[in-house]
C-alpha cells in the first residue's frame, strides 16, 4: 500500500469510526438535556410529583445503558468473527432508527401509561446499538493508527463524545431561545431526535466506504488460540480503570443540567449554558491528552485526570452552590470540571485497545466500556437524584465522582509505562 493510499485509508477510518459515536452521544446528550421535559411528557400523571417523574426518566435513561453490555457482547462477537466494517454498518442503522423513533412517540397525554413503556423499549434498542458502537469504532481507529499515534487516533473517539454532547446542548439552547416554554414542551423537544435521520445517512455513506483493518485480516488468515480467562480479567481491570471517567463524565457533562435545575433552582437556559461550558472544557483537553499519552504514556495522563477530580470535586461543586459567587466564577468551575475529565477520556480508548488481542478486541473493550458506562454513567442521574431526595445532601454529586475516581487511580497505576510503545497484540 502506498503512503498516500495509507494516509487516505487512515483518514477514512477516523471519519467512519467517529461519526457513529457522534450520533450516539448527540442523542444521549439531548435526552439528558431534555430530561425534565421528557419527564413531564412521558412519566407525569396527576398522582406523580416532578421529582418522581425525573427519577423515572433517569431510570429509563439507565436502562438503555444496561442494554449496552448485551449489545457489546452480541455485536462484539459478530465483529470479531465477520469483521469490523459490516458490524458497524448494522449498528449504525439500528442506532439511527431508534433515535429518530423517539421523536415520533406519543406522550402520556395521548396514550396514557403506554407512553413510558414505549419510550423504554426504544431506549433499550438504543442501548443495544450503542453497546456495539464503541468497541468496533475504537478497534477500527487504533488498528489503522500508526503505533506512535494510537493515543491521538483514539482521542478522536472521545472528542466526538464532547462534540455530540455540545451539538445536543447547542440545539437544545437554540430551541429554548426561539420557542416558548409551551411550544418546547409540546413539540420542540422532538426536533433533536428527528435530526438523527440526516446525521445517520451521512454516517452510513462514510461507513460503506470503509475497509477492513489489516489486524483483523491477518488474524483471520492465522487465528491465534483463544484465551477467555485473560480477556475476562482484562475486562474487569478495564472497568476499574474507566469507572472514574464514566462517573465524572456523565455527572459533570450530562446530569449537571437537571441537578442545577432541580436542586439549585437554576433556569433551563442557565443549566444549558453551564453544560456547554463544561463540554467545551472537555473537548479542549481531549486531543492534547491523547497526544501527550503517546509521548509520556497513558498512565501519567489518566492518573492526573482522575486525581484532579478527587481533589477538585468538592471545591467546584461548593462554588456552584454558593449564591454569592459570580456567574464568571461558576462558569470557570464547570469549564475546569470538563477539562479534567478530558485528561482521562483522551488516552482512554487507546489504553483499552492495548489491553486486548485483536481476536477479542471488539468484544473485550466494548464490554469493559459498556459495563463501566452502564453502572457508573447510565445510573449517575438516577443514583444522584434519588440519594439527594432521600438524604437532602446536595453534595452527593461530589461524593459520587470522588469515590469512583479514587478507585480508578488505583487501577490506572497498574498500567505499564511502555504500553503506548508496544505493537497491538494479535
Predicted confidence (pLDDT) at residue 426 exceeds the cutoff of 80: no
* 224 within some domain: yes
Per the CB < 8 A criterion, the answer to whether 210 and 92 are in contact is no
* 426 within some domain: no
* 12 within some domain: yes
Per the CB < 8 A criterion, the answer to whether 56 and 38 are in contact is no
Between CA 187 and CA 104 the distance in angstroms is 10
* 61 within some domain: yes
Residue range 155-178, pLDDT digits in tens? 999 898 778 877 887 888 788 889
Predicted confidence (pLDDT) at residue 396 exceeds the cutoff of 70: yes
pLDDT band per the 50, 70, 90 thresholds, residue 5: low
Between CA 128 and CA 131 the distance in angstroms is 5
Domain extent at residue 391: 3-421
Considering only 86-95, 113-122, 377-386, which range has the smallest mean pLDDT? 377-386
Cell of 55: 427519577
Q: How many domains does the chain have?
A: 1
pLDDT band per the 50, 70, 90 thresholds, residue 310: very high
Q: Which helix (H) or strand (E) holds 216?
A: helix 214-221
* 131 within some domain: yes
3-33 vs 35-42: helix axis angle to the nearest 10? 50
CATH number at residue 172: 1.20.1250.20
Residue 285 φ/ψ, nearest 5 degrees: -95, -15
Residue range 173-223, pLDDT digits in tens? 788 889 888 898 889 989 999 998 998 898 899 899 888 888 888 887 776
pLDDT band per the 50, 70, 90 thresholds, residue 53: low
Between CA 279 and CA 78 the distance in angstroms is 33
Amino acid 329: pLDDT: 82
Residue range 354-372, pLDDT digits in tens? 999 998 999 999 999 999 9
* 363 within some domain: yes
Between CA 247 and CA 187 the distance in angstroms is 31
Amino acid 49: pLDDT: 53
pLDDT band per the 50, 70, 90 thresholds, residue 54: low
Residue range 9-24, pLDDT digits in tens? 888 888 888 888 888 7
Amino acid 408: pLDDT: 97
* 76 within some domain: yes
Predicted confidence (pLDDT) at residue 153 exceeds the cutoff of 90: yes
Contacts of residue 114, Cβ cutoff 8 Å, sequence gap at least 6: 106
Cell of 96: 439511527
Per the CB < 8 A criterion, the answer to whether 339 and 276 are in contact is no
Amino acid at each position: 500500500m502506498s503512503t498516500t493510499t495509507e494516509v487516505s485509508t487512515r483518514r477514512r477510518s477516523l471519519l467512519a469510526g467517529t461519526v457513529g459515536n457522534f450520533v450516539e452521544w448527540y442523542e444521549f446528550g439531548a435526552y439528558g438535556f431534555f430530561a425534565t421535559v421528557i419527564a413531564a411528557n412521558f412519566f407525569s400523571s396527576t398522582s406523580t410529583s416532578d421529582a418522581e417523574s425525573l427519577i423515572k426518566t433517569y431510570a429509563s435513561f439507565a436502562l438503555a445503558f444496561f442494554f449496552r453490555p448485551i449489545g457489546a457482547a452480541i455485536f462484539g462477537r459478530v465483529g470479531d468473527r465477520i469483521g469490523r466494517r459490516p458490524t458497524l454498518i448494522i449498528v449504525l442503522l439500528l442506532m439511527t432508527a431508534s433515535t429518530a423513533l423517539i421523536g415520533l412517540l406519543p406522550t402520556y397525554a395521548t396514550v396514557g401509561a403506554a407512553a413510558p413503556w414505549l419510550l423504554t423499549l426504544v431506549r433499550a434498542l438504543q442501548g443495544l446499538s450503542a453497546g456495539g458502537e464503541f468497541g468496533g469504532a475504537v478497534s477500527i481507529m487504533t488498528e489503522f493508527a500508526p503505533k506512535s499515534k494510537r493515543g491521538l487516533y483514539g482521542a478522536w473517539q472521545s472528542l466526538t463524545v464532547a462534540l455530540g454532547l455540545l451539538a445536543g446542548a447547542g440545539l437544545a439552547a437554540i430551541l429554548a431561545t426561539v420557542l416558548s416554554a409551551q411550544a418546547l414542551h409540546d413539540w420542540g423537544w422532538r426536533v433533536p431526535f428527528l435530526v438523527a435521520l440526516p446525521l445517520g445517512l451521512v454516517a452510513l455513506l462514510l461507513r460503506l466506504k470503509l475497509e477492513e483493518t489489516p489486524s483483523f485480516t491477518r488474524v483471520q488468515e492465522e487465528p491465534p488460540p483463544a484465551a477467555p480467562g485473560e480477556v475476562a480479567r482484562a475486562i474487569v481491570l478495564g472497568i476499574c480503570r474507566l469507572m472514574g471517567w464514566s462517573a465524572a463524565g456523565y455527572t459533570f457533562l450530562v446530569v449537571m443540567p437537571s441537578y442545577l435545575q432541580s436542586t439549585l433552582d437554576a433556569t433551563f437556559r442557565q443549566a444549558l449554558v453551564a453544560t456547554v461550558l463544561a463540554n467545551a472544557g472537555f473537548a479542549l483537553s481531549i486531543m492534547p491528552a491523547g497526544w501527550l499519552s503517546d509521548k509520556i504514556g497513558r498512565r501519567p495522563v489518566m492518573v492526573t485526570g482522575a486525581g484532579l477530580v478527587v481533589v477538585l470535586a468538592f471545591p467546584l461543586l461548593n462554588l456552584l452552590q454558593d449564591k454569592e459567587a459570580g456567574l464568571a466564577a461558576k462558569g470557570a468551575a464547570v469549564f475546569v470540571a470538563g477539562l479534567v475529565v478530558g485528561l482521562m477520556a483522551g488516552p482512554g480508548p487507546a489504553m483499552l485497545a492495548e489491553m486486548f488481542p485483536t481476536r477479542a478486541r471488539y468484544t473485550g473493550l466494548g464490554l469493559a466500556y459498556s459495563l463501566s458506562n452502564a453502572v457508573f454513567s447510565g445510573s449517575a442521574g438516577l443514583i444522584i437524584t434519588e440519594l439527594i431526595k432521600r438524604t437532602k445532601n446536595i453534595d452527593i454529586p461530589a461524593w459520587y465522582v470522588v469515590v469512583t475516581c479514587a478507585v480508578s487511580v488505583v487501577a490506572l497505576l497498574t498500567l505499564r509505562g511502555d504500553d503506548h510503545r508496544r505493537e497491538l497484540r494479535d
